[in-house]
């Protein structure tokens, strides 16, 4: 039995943050009923056609769900939603702030009849405050949260290559829902959860926030290099580059001895402790290049391994698809879609996660409406 078997989640969701949260609940065994617009459904289905004609974002965040198409502007659509919510343990929504309230599906209204219901609202800026009604997309929140100000090079800010603000909000929605389910088991009462993308990203910005404490300068943009630890980043070799990082003085001494063959550098005041290495990184980079530029990538990795210095390949997506460690740990499974079988990763920490099909738009409408005593609108 999976941990959330017997839990029913109804989700008024689109895009990424809410679907990512509810997919993880489905991974753990919850029944997730995804409410979509009649016709094309969740607009994220149309982002691209990269996975056998299906959208890459959508196949990632929507497996193991049931799709019901409801027109929430119609009386029957709202009645269907009322009946679904009456049977649900959790209601998740990432519609525009205030939208569910206008339909009578806000927590304060629902809790009067369903005191055990857990309602999770996900939005860009939260359900109140002066920015409540501002539109919020992932890249906009990356900017608003200060993430862009520390990401990129000295000359140009750079966005994250994935939907990091959506992912952050989805993770906090997921964990808060799990906590609320545990709490309800003790008290019998549900609760309202209000997750904003801005607050999720602000939490993830904790290190640079505190680094800039009381008006201090913030971490500089440093490309793929760590902003405040050095050497930590990608370093050129004679035939490529290797990513490695030195975290403490013991590792620095081992690196100087085993990789550079210059043990005297370990005690050089220009380069010890880390704050000195970081402050003098241009001078140190020139010294490192004298050795690393003449080593092959394989030779450097062997030397780093001997010195017990953490290092990594700079993989692309093809490299990740074929990563030997993921294969050795049997992390890949198959998931059915309307366009055929696709590969999918098991969620971290789970070996028996639910990996059921990705639904087509409204695929389960008739069955779900029949379950609650209604028929599909003509």
CB atoms within 10 A of CB 39: 9
Distance CA 303, CA 301 (A): 5
Q: Tell me 128's DSSP state.
A: S
For 24-142, where are the E strands, in sequence order? 31-36, 65-69, 90-93, 118-123
The values of phi and psi at residue 347, to 5°, are: -65, 145
CB atoms within 10 A of CB 1: 7
| Residue 313: partners with Cβ closer than 8 Å, 6 or more residues away | 242, 243, 319
The whole-angstrom distance between residue 244's C-alpha and the CA centroid of its chain comes to 24
* 166 catalytic per annotation: yes
Distance CA 140, CA 136 (A): 6
Q: Tell me 55's DSSP state.
A: -
Q: With beta carbons less than 8 A apart as the criterion, state whether 101 and 91 touch.
A: no
Distance CA 359, CA 339 (A): 11
Out of 27, 42, 106, 166, the active site residue is 166
Residue with tokens 């607050």: 199
Q: With beta carbons less than 8 A apart as the criterion, state whether 372 and 84 touch.
A: yes
The values of phi and psi at residue 333, to 5°, are: -130, 180
| Residue 377: partners with Cβ closer than 8 Å, 6 or more residues away | 71, 74, 76, 77
Q: Where in the sequence numbering do the catalytic residues fall?
A: 166
């Amino acid at each position: 039995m999976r941990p959330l078997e017997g839990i029913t989640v109804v989700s008024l969701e689109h895009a990424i943050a809410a679907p990512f949260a509810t997919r993880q609940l489905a991974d753990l065994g919850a029944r997730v009923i995804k409410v979509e617009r009649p016709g094309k459904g969740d607009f994220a289905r149309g982002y691209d056609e990269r996975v056998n004609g299906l959208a890459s974002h959508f196949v990632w965040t929507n497996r193991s769900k049931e799709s019901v198409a409801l027109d929430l502007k119609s009386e029957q659509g709202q009645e269907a939603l009322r009946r679904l919510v009456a049977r649900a343990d959790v209601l998740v929504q990432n519609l525009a702030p205030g939208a569910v309230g206008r339909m009578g599906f806000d927590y304060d209204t629902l809790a009067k009849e369903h005191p055990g219901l857990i309602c999770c609202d996900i939005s860009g800026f939260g359900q109140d405050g002066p920015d409540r009604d501002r539109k919020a997309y992932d890249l906009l929140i990356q900017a608003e949260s200060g993430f862009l100000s520390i990401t990129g090079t000295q000359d140009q800010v750079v966005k994250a290559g994935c939907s990091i603000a959506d992912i952050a909000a989805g993770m906090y929605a997921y964990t808060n829902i799990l906590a609320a389910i545990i709490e309800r088991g003790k008290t019998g009462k549900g609760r309202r959860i209000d997750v904003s993308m801005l607050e999720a990203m602000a939490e993830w910005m904790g290190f640079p926030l505190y680094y800039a404490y009381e008006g201090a300068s913030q971490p500089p943009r440093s490309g793929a290099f760590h902003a405040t630890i050095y050497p930590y980043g990608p370093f050129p070799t004679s035939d490529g580059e290797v990513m490695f990082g030195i975290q403490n003085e013991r590792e620095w001494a081992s690196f100087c001895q085993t990789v550079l063959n210059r043990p005297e550098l370990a005690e050089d005041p220009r380069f010890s402790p880390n704050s000195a290495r970081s402050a003098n990184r241009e001078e140190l980079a020139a010294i490192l290049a004298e050795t690393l530029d003449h080593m092959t990538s394989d030779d450097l990795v062997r030397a780093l391994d001997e010195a017990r210095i953490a290092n990594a390949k700079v993989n692309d997506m093809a490299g990740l698809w074929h990563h030997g460690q993921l294969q050795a740990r049997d992390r890949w499974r198959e998931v059915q879609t309307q366009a055929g079988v696709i590969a999918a990763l098991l969620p971290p920490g789970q070996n028996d996660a639910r990996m059921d099909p990705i639904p087509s738009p409204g695929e389960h409408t008739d069955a779900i409406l029949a379950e609650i005593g209604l028929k599909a609108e003509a």
